[in-house]
Amino acid sequence: MTGIIIYKSKYGAVKKYAEWLSEATGFPCVTTKEADINEVAKCDVVIAGGGVYASGISCTSYIKKNIGKIKGKKLLVFMCGASPYDKESVDAVIEMNMKDELKGIPVFYCRGAFDLKSMSFVDRNLCTMLRKSLLKKDPAQMAVWEKALVEATDNEAHDWTDKTYLDPVLEAIKA
């Protein structure tokens, strides 16, 4: 079985998961920018990874653009976010992103990292403003991701990456 892992990582957590998957499977991993669709199309298994930003999965644009060449392959997607796993939130992101020809592609959630200091100016300011507005909200009314954002501190980097999040992905490859 041949395979490839393509990923789009903004701050490093998705890249870390892609590299762990590569170690576990022997499949090469490349960024979506480097991924030559003609080479990707030669593989039996295509695993795409991307971060969740504003409810979008960053790798899905590559899949949508190239679905015609990879449609008959075993396609898997893993998404990475800073929030703890929450079925309702994950299902909403999947529903929003995996439409039309992407519908039915298995999607897996891996928890990532959060480090305000390493973020771009725009991302840092957006998170700071969102956090300030959430602090006015009753904690009992907050979604899981909102609580996680409020609890993350400015001065501390948080890394929740864990290889065990990839176990379901590895099982799906074998299935």
DSSP string covering 52-86: EETTEETTHHHHHHHHHHHTTSEEEEEEEESSPP-
Confidence (pLDDT) at 45:
97
Confidence (pLDDT) at 161:
92
The answer on pLDDT for 44 being more than 80 is: yes
Structure tokens at 123: 């991302």
Confidence (pLDDT) at 154:
66
User: Which 8-state DSSP code applies to residue 36?
Assistant: -
The answer on pLDDT for 36 being more than 70 is: yes
Distance of CA 116 to the CA centre of its chain: 18
Domains in the chain with CATH codes: 3-115+158-174 (3.40.50.360)
The answer on pLDDT for 26 being more than 70 is: yes
